[in-house]
Amino acid sequence: MSASDQTETHELTAEELAAIEEKYDEGSATRAVGPATGVVLRAVALTFAIYHYITAGFGLPADHWHMGWHLTGLFILTYALFPIIGSKSLFAMKASALRIGNIPVYDIVFMGLGVASALYVGFAWRGVPMLGIEEQTFRMGNPNTYDVFFGVVIILLVLDIARRTLGWVLPLIICVFISYALLGQYFPGLLKHPGVNFKTFVSSMYFPQEGIFGVTLWVVSTIVFHFVLFGVIAQRTGLGQLFIDNATILAGRYTGGPAKVSVVSSAFFGTISGSSVANTVSTGALTIPNMKRLGYPGHFAGGVEAASSAGGQITPPIMGAAAFIMAEFLELPYTTIVIAAIFPALLHYVGVFTVVHLMARKLDLKGLTKEQLPKLKAVWSEGWANIVPLVGLLVVLFSGYTPFMSAFCGISLAVVTGMSRLKEPPTLVYSAAFIAFVLWKFTGGGFDLTMTIILCAGSAIATLNPQDRIKVPEMAAAMELGVKYALAVGAASAAVGIVVGVINTTGIGFRIGFMVTQGAGNLATDMFGMLSLGGLIEWFTVQDLQLFISLIFIAIACILMGAGIPTTALYIMLVSVAQPALAQLGVPPIASHMFVLYYGVVSEITPPVCTSAYAAAAIANSNPFRTGLSAFSLGLGKVVAPMAFVYAPVLLFVSSTGFDLWEFSYTATSCIAGVIALSTAVVGYWFAPMGALSRVLMAIAGLVFVAPSLSADLVALLIASPVIVMQMMARRGPSQSAA
């Protein structure tokens, strides 16, 4: 390795890593505020976190109050921390008499209006006779002057906080939906509708059940935030490092060890992380320099980490934020969604792992030496207690309790693991408090005896943690970070609620769905004539082609619209449109929802906008666009998996079409063969280097393999057979290979 390469693999400091995350993570780049203002904002953030933590365990207030308090925190922190233009601009940092603690007066005004509009719904819910405000039930669809004023304010401010935390793309898309609702009579053809009255529109967007106070904000404020907070605290107490160490032990000694460590550790870390960029920075800080030292090109090392980390969004049991919303939309238990996601996630990691392995063989890269590997006994003797919170969370979640109760128990056990030590009796107050809570729930019938014993035992065992105790300021900082991560997804959920409200009010989802299926049907009819050679050979039916073309249309829309939009927001918007279209074509609901979610995640590693890949490129000191291309090619398993489970819903285990073990085994094997074939085409190597023609044949064979039918598999084998024969010959001896 050259001297220049060696300088590129220097270890990044915590400050450099924080700067990378701030640059590429949605909502991480914030303005600096004055010392006194900083203290106040820290108090607000901690109050925000503690409020959600307590309500998760002890019960939620009425929805309109709960979501109102959540929005209150979002408005205060967003307007305090995110400038109107950009945290790095001169305008954002310029000192002025019109600033309080470096927060402009107009942002303080916006903050006050946001808080007032968020809390007005709860304040006026039962009516305010002295102000002439009737009960909300009588005002629904016929808002008074106060309703219209605060409704307009909250719509504008929600769009603004989404713009400040996420950029212009999402608010502009939402503005198009708003225009469609209000100006429907001016739209052409099938999209035309009478238009929604302005007051009716404001009422629908403002009052609960639809719009801003709808299901998306409810799920984020009630479930998603708690899991984000759990992930941050669990990582701070040492669970993230435990994952990385165990991944190194499992995969480090094999061919291309550090790259395989990246894949395995990102898969582990994805179970507790809701952010692809946070996952990339956390695990990539160790794995990317190690890959470069081993000999991987920088762009490939960054691509491996980005593709692996983006997979965290689809890795059970947490799966980022979208899975919770999917459970609400489908009215299914969250555990059902988790079970359905197991094989598709596995297929993604099989693809990444195969590319990594083949690239290591192509470059003749070795694994880590025995001396470089962590010692299993040392890792577990030091960090065993960090697994207790995750086990506790999963046990509660899969025992049928609510997701927010499982998050409450997970967070509590993480706090106990980090802060309580048997050898320091005063610190046992945290463990004792959680045990008292569990016993209180048991006496009230909230927990059964088995769950009570498990949680009490977990709390007691966690106090035996041999690691250094985390102090209160460090735990407070972890909670603040969790709140900071939640700002962008909170703003997105509130803003996307407007889209859901417009779709429900106007029926545009069914209109666009009909247009997609009709357009695909017309194109399929034309293609059928060409492919069937005028009816002589019928490879496909028109319906088969229509479904395939519809899936292509929707997949492209997901990837294009996903430029810079968080997965959660993109999923909510697209599933409202895609679900009617795919339902018309007979696709089971859970398959269509998973399809949209997967392509939303694919957008995170698809150039030109691929934030995970850009963050990895910053760590790898490589070309961002080339790193994005590497990440996309590595993530081909995630690209083809949705097509597979739409055609074969049995891969999701829980599809309404039923589960058949033989059908699942055969289809899964076929899909894995397809992903491996595609991986060989990407790398250009199997047992020996491949020429351009061989790579093309393997790519085509891989795509055909994914189609779940025996005839397709036979065709795929026929296409791949020349390459298989040549590779086998090359493996037997260099003389035959040369021939």
Selected residue with higher pLDDT from 54 and 645: 54
pLDDT (tens digit, 9 = 90+) per residue, 613-632? 888 888 888 888 888 888 88
Residue type (1 letter), 117: S
**What percentage of the chain reaches a pLDDT higher than 90?**
30
Q: What does DSSP say about strands 103-104 and 99-100: parallel, antiparallel, or unpaired?
A: antiparallel
- Alpha carbon distances (Å) from 82 to 72, 116, 160, 368, 489: 15, 19, 10, 44, 14
401-411: average pLDDT: 92
337-364: average pLDDT: 86
DSSP β-bridge partners for residue 342? none
From 388, 334, 356, 197, select the one nearest 265 (Cα to Cα). Answer: 356
**DSSP code string of 88-105:** TSHHHH---TTEETTEEH
Reduced 3-state DSSP string for 534-595: CCCCCCCCHHHHHHHHHHHHHHHHHHHHCCCCCHHHHHHHHHHHHHHHHHHCCCCHHHHHHH
DSSP β-bridge partners for residue 99? 104
The helix, strand and coil proportions of the chain, stated in percent and rounded to the nearest 5, come to: 75, 0, 25
Confidence of residue 93 (pLDDT cuts 50, 70, 90): very low
Selected residue with higher pLDDT from 47 and 330: 47
Q: Is the peptide bond before 607 cis (omega within 30 degrees of 0)?
A: no
Query: Where does residue 467 fall: left (phi above 0), alpha (psi -120 to 50 degrees), or beta otherwise?
Result: beta
pLDDT (tens digit, 9 = 90+) per residue, 129-147? 888 888 888 888 789 999 9
CA distance 467 to 454: 22
**253-278 burial: b if 16+ Cβ within 10 Å, else e:** bebbbbbbbbbbbbbbbbbbbbbbbb
CA distance 664 to 659: 7
CA distance 607 to 610: 5
pLDDT of residue 576 exceeding 80:
no
CA distance 723 to 105: 68
Yes or no: say if 552 and 560 are a contact pair by the CB < 8 Å rule. Answer: no
pLDDT (tens digit, 9 = 90+) per residue, 314-339? 877 767 667 778 888 888 888 888 88
Q: How many residues does the chain have?
A: 739
**Which residue is it, tokens 């000999």?**
295
* Ranges 74-88, 306-320, 527-541, most confident: 74-88
Residue type (1 letter), 453: I
Confidence of residue 5 (pLDDT cuts 50, 70, 90): very low
CA distance 61 to 52: 11
Yes or no: say if 57 and 408 are a contact pair by the CB < 8 Å rule. Answer: yes
CB proximity list for 521: less than 8 A, separation 6 or greater: 542, 546
CA distance 277 to 489: 13
Yes or no: say if 487 and 165 are a contact pair by the CB < 8 Å rule. Answer: yes
End-to-end distance of the chain based on CA atoms, in angstroms?
A: 33
- Alpha carbon distances (Å) from 538 to 230, 520, 521, 552, 591: 54, 18, 17, 21, 27
pLDDT of residue 21 exceeding 70:
no
Say what the pTM is.
0.85
pLDDT (tens digit, 9 = 90+) per residue, 189-203? 888 888 899 999 999
CA distance 269 to 49: 22
Specify the 3-state DSSP secondary structure of 300. Answer: helix
| Radius of gyration of the CA atoms of the chain, in A | 27
Yes or no: say if 590 and 654 are a contact pair by the CB < 8 Å rule. Answer: yes
